[in-house]
Amino acid sequence: MADFDLVIRRARCATAADVFEADIGIRGGVIVALGSSLPAGHEEIDAAGRWVLPGGIDGHCHLDQPTSDGSRMADDFLTGTRSAACGGTTTVLPFALQMKGQSLRAAVENYHRRAEGKASIDYAFHLIVTDPTPEVLSEELPSLIREGYTSFKIYMTYDDLKLADREFIDVLAVAREHGALVMVHAENADCIAWLTERLLARGHTASRYHATARPMLVEREATHRAIAYAELVDVPILIVHVSGREAVEQVRWAHSHGLRIYAETCPQYLFLTAEDLGITDDDHQGAKCICSPPPRDRANQQLVWDGLESGVFQIFSSDHAPFTFAGPEGKFAAGENASFDRIPNGIPGLETRLALLFSHGVETGRLTIQQFVALTATNVARMYGLYPRKGSIAVGADADLVIWETDIDRRIGNADLHHAVDYTPYEGIPVSAWPALTLSRGEVVWQDGEYLGVAGRGHFLRCDLPEPARPKARPEAGHTWSV
């Protein structure tokens, strides 16, 4: 009898730390051996000369998340995880959203029902806390953290989602006490509302004014405030979807003051600019690229690349928030002439995240292969308490692996993608690499252009307490409030 269900031969492996050549022996969905000349497997794949990397972990994507404006997310767990697998992602972390007035536990139960029977790759949930009542803070959050929901996102903007500053601080204190990680959407709600009102009063309703209503300073101010609250409470936080210079400067400032502030960025800040929201007022197509914070300009793209190279950013996520361009529940759910403030925020990107970063980061020499693995898998697993089960190539880890095809010459086209969105904002961008094969727990879910996943085979993952969320706990910093 063969020792292994599958052996990948002569794999050119990269982890966040190392590059090495090995045969990878897989049994029961787990990597059980790394070595040379391993005994025969029941099945064999020859990967000679090709990169074999940990499957991508998308730590920020929205699937089948309820909305409150008449729009509906195009991707559920079926199409979202299909799309992820075809792009080399083997674990997703979407969000269980608490509606104001709803219990957090009810939100989680509802979200499980949305995933069950549909997900074809493994998944965990972040929570979105919108209503931190005393019951939520003292009962629900602590018990959900113990049950494996160890990260939550809070918003500083959007009327239906945002927390008051006092509530923000209360949530941070719970995270500190129970060891969870808080992700922050940092934009100043009042500045956006004030600017939006004035733009609309002048008849500036086109998509492109979305960027005018959310200039970098609103992100800078909120990022600074979030960092100050994290310092006050003594708990690390993760600033999500950082778009450019002004927020980066705040994160650097925090680092220079010894604060553990983590930062995430996304493909839209490398590959799109505000011009993609439209150059003229007649440009309806610009709605396709409405997301928040908005993409900036070329100089800011370069700054974000610099941050990926230099370690300002720990993780690179898609922020997949899928709305169709056409159709009654898509970008124009509020009417075909809807003003920019009534167009749902979000763009698709689950399937294209890895190929874009590999092609334009690794193949151009901007990033090492180890940095790529760290940004797209290992650091994400660590940040959310999934390491070492996920995010690396190691004995004992799940066999979530991607064999990469490089030296290809292709352009991204929506017709080739597997999400349920009728466009990609990255249409026409060249890529020189794409996953040839994706393994999820040792099972092939994508091979040579064919999706082979099975709905419902994905497992829900309970997350451990993330090690990066530990507080500094320096008595001299005066954090005596918690005793």
DSSP-derived secondary structure letter, 162: B
Tokens of 49: 């000369």
Mask 316-335, x = binds Zn ion (CB under 5 A)?
---x----------------
Kindly state the smallest distance separating residue 187's Cβ from ligand DUC, in Å: 8
Prior bond of 293 cis (ω within 30°): yes
Q: Is 319 one of the binding residues for ligand DUC (CB under 6 A)?
A: yes
Kindly state the smallest distance separating residue 94's Cβ from Zn ion, in Å: 9
- 353 is in the binding site of which of Zn ion, ligand DUC, none (Cβ under 5 to 8 A by kind)? none
Tokens of 63: 């699937």
Nearer to ligand DUC, 62 or 208 (CB): 62
C-alpha to C-alpha distance for 21 and 2, rounded to whole angstroms: 22
- How deeply is 415 buried, as exposed, middle or buried, from its count of CB atoms within 10 A (0-12, 13-18, 19+)? exposed
For ligand DUC, which residue of 173, 291, 374, 429 counts as binding (CB under 6 A)?
A: 291
Binders of Zn ion in range 300-319 (CB under 5 A): 319
C-alpha to C-alpha distance for 108 and 384, rounded to whole angstroms: 17
Whether 33 and 70 have beta carbons less than 8 Å apart is answered as: no
Nearer to ligand DUC, 187 or 398 (CB): 187
Nearer to Zn ion, 243 or 379 (CB): 243
For ligand DUC, which residue of 126, 185, 220, 331 counts as binding (CB under 6 A)?
A: 185
How far the first Cα of the chain sits from its last, in Å, is 60
CB under 8 Å to 242, separation ≥6 — which residues? 219, 223, 248, 251, 263, 264, 265, 269, 293, 304, 307, 313
Kindly state the smallest distance separating residue 198's Cβ from ligand DUC, in Å: 21
For ligand DUC, which residue of 162, 220, 224, 241 counts as binding (CB under 6 A)?
A: 241
Kindly state the smallest distance separating residue 238's Cβ from ligand DUC, in Å: 12
Nearer to ligand DUC, 133 or 212 (CB): 212
- 345 is in the binding site of which of Zn ion, ligand DUC, none (Cβ under 5 to 8 A by kind)? ligand DUC
Kindly state the smallest distance separating residue 95's Cβ from ligand DUC, in Å: 8
For ligand DUC, which residue of 79, 223, 268, 292 counts as binding (CB under 6 A)?
A: 292
Nearest to 100 by CA among 160, 174, 163, 182: 160
Nearer to ligand DUC, 344 or 471 (CB): 344
- Give the torsion sign (CA, 97, 100, 106, 110): negative
Nearer to ligand DUC, 45 or 315 (CB): 315
Kindly state the smallest distance separating residue 351's Cβ from ligand DUC, in Å: 17
Site size with ligand DUC, rule: CB under 6 A: 9
- 63 is in the binding site of which of ligand DUC, Zn ion, none (Cβ under 5 to 8 A by kind)? none
State the DSSP string of 440-457: ETTEEEEETTEE---TT-
For ligand DUC, which residue of 278, 322, 346, 349 counts as binding (CB under 6 A)?
A: 346
C-alpha to C-alpha distance for 136 and 209, rounded to whole angstroms: 37
CB under 8 Å to 103, separation ≥6 — which residues? 135, 136, 140
Q: Is 126 one of the binding residues for Zn ion (CB under 5 A)?
A: no
Binders of Zn ion in range 171-190 (CB under 5 A): 185
Nearer to ligand DUC, 22 or 291 (CB): 291
Whether 390 and 330 have beta carbons less than 8 Å apart is answered as: no
- Give the torsion sign (CA, 358, 364, 369, 372): negative
- 291 is in the binding site of which of Zn ion, ligand DUC, none (Cβ under 5 to 8 A by kind)? ligand DUC
C-alpha to C-alpha distance for 68 and 70, rounded to whole angstroms: 6
Mask 55-94, x = binds ligand DUC (CB under 6 A)?
-------x--------------------------------
273-to-248, 296, 310 alpha-carbon distances in Å: 17, 5, 22
- In the complex, which residues of this chain contact ligand DUC (CB under 6 A)? 62, 185, 241, 291-292, 319, 321, 345-346
